[in-house]
Chains A and B, each alone.
Chain A
Amino acid sequence: GQQVMQIPQYQHVQEGEDFTTYCNSSTTLSNIQWYKQRPGGHPVFLIQLVKSGEVKKQKRLTFQFGEAKKNSSLHITATQTTDVGTYFCAGRTGNQFYFGTGTSLTVIP
């Protein structure tokens, strides 16, 4: 069954508001990757986190990997209409790679 869950499943925000999606795994992950999939498009790699407690920033996006390496979050500051899409986390446990259930973000102009 699904081992990597994301919440919320859907999020509607007003343009300019912040947005956060949370990724939770039932097992310890060796790494966590984040992907963005625009409507009708394919997943596009955003970033990878490897170390416990790691924080990385990309302009308005902040990514965190939990201390126990079982959870992660993606925070977007001051959303823009270009942020619309589904955000997936993905991580490795053993020799398996699991994608999270995804959070679909809608930005209302």
Chain B
Amino acid sequence: DSGVTQTPKHLITATGQRVTLRCSPRSGDLSVYWYQQSLDQGLQFLIQYYNGEERAKGNILERFSAQQFPDLHSELNLSSLELGDSALYFCASSVGGGWSYEQYFGPGTRLTVT
């Protein structure tokens, strides 16, 4: 158990819909990262927040957005969903804001778009 929690574990929704994935970092960690893992694309970095502010942006689509709240939990919002958005979405946390810190991954949310 990494100490990072993600909800829900599974999500099935239809194309065009919007969903919100939630992540609670390990106690004491200030950074939250979001990743998308699909069979053909591997692990893709989406976005990072550090202490409530966006720190780095990766391959995140405009239809996706995220935020980190004052209690440090984070939400990833996916809208106008397409079949290709079906994937495993991981949240990770680390104590610091740079890329030199060990990242602790949550169990993931499996999103299926039908």
Contact = CB atoms under 8 A, between A and B. Distances in A.
A88 B33 CA distance: 17
B64 interface: no
A80 interface: no
B58 to A, nearest CB: 6
A42 B108 contact: yes
Contacts of A31: 99-100
A52 interface: no
Instruction: Tell me the dominant secondary structure on chain B's binding face.
Output: strand
Interface residues of B, number: 21
Interface string B17-37: 000000000000000010100
28 contacts: A2-B42, A30-B99, A31-B99, A33-B103, A35-B105, A41-B107, A42-B90, A42-B105, A42-B106, A42-B107, A42-B108, A43-B90, A44-B105, A45-B103, A45-B104, A48-B102, A50-B100, A88-B42, A90-B43, A92-B100, A96-B45, A96-B58, A97-B45, A97-B99, A99-B42, A99-B45, A102-B42, A102-B43
Interface of A: 2, 30-31, 33, 35, 41-45, 48, 50, 88, 90, 92, 95-102
